[in-house]
């Protein structure tokens, strides 16, 4: 994704940096300026950790949350009702003039 020009903001409490970018311990520990620029949270965690991440994304008003294939958490899905909670595979970005569409990878 970085090679395609997307900015990655790593969130991991155990590391200081990833992919050449500063890592944050949680979404809520980022500055508001950083959080306001986030369009999508792509979750690479086991299902039992998803509740907290979804709650932080909702509090941060992040418009979309993507759960990787096999990551299912019904309680988090219920809490995110009415928001863009997606999943079932790797994220695929498609560029179109004036728009970026996010969808499931079909590789």
Instruction: Return the pLDDT at 106.
Output: 36
Instruction: Return the pLDDT at 32.
Output: 93
CATH topology of domain 2-104: Rossmann fold (3.40.50)
Instruction: Return the pLDDT at 62.
Output: 86
Please, are residues 80 and 54 in contact by the beta-carbon 8 Å criterion? yes
Strand runs labelled E in 23-98 = 41-43, 64-67, 84-87, 91-96
**Residue spans per domain, the chain:** 2-104
Instruction: Return the pLDDT at 16.
Output: 95
Q: Per residue of the chain (107 residues), give pLDDT as tens.
A: 788 888 889 998 899 999 999 999 999 999 999 999 888 888 888 888 888 988 898 899 888 888 777 777 777 777 776 666 565 555 554 444 444 334 433 33
Beta-sheet pairing, 21-22 with 64-67: unpaired
User: Half-sphere exposure of residue 51, counting CA atoms within 13 Å on the CB side?
Assistant: 3
């Amino acid at each position: 994704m970085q090679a395609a020009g997307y900015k990655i903001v790593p969130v991991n409490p155990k590391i200081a940096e990833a992919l050449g970018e500063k890592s944050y311990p949680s979404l809520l520990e980022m500055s508001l300026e950083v959080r306001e620029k986030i369009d999508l949270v792509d979750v690479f965690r086991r299902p039992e950790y998803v509740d907290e991440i979804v709650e932080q994304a909702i509090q941060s008003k992040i418009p979309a949350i993507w759960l990787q294939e096999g990551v299912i958490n019904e309680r988090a899905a219920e809490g995110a009702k009415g928001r863009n909670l997606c999943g079932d595979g790797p994220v695929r970005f498609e560029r179109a003039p004036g728009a970026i569409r996010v969808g499931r990878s079909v590789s």
